[in-house]
Amino acid sequence: MLLKYTETASQLITWLRSKSHILAHLPLSVLRAILTCWTAHYMAYRHLLQLYPSLRALNYGNKTKPDHEKVLVSGDAAAKKRATEMVEIIEDPVFWHNIAL
């Protein structure tokens, strides 16, 4: 079960790192885990947990803005679909609980 959530965390990290317009709104860097170093995974997930309040605030603000001002869900149809998947992860309390373990 833990591997499922670590894979999901890695997908979220990769997506966040690819969106410079989102990174500009975050107070910390989004760290990428290095496959051969478990400490890097720990630090990447720790940073992700520290970003949780900021991500939730961005998501809440995103819901109240018109489409042309949205930060999280933007772009073409494929980008919006992927962003919607990532927003579902951000909104999932079970994911955050399991990452915190």
Confidence at residue 2, expressed as pLDDT on a 0 to 100 scale: 65
Confidence at residue 1, expressed as pLDDT on a 0 to 100 scale: 65
Domain boundaries, the chain: 2-19+33-100
Q: Where are the alpha helices (DSSP H) in 18-76?
A: 20-23, 38-64
CA 8, distance to chain mean position in Å, is 9
pTM for this model (two decimals): 0.86
Tell me the pLDDT of the chain (101 aa) as tens digits: 667 888 999 999 999 999 988 899 898 889 887 777 778 888 999 999 999 999 999 999 888 888 778 888 878 889 889 999 999 999 999 999 999 87
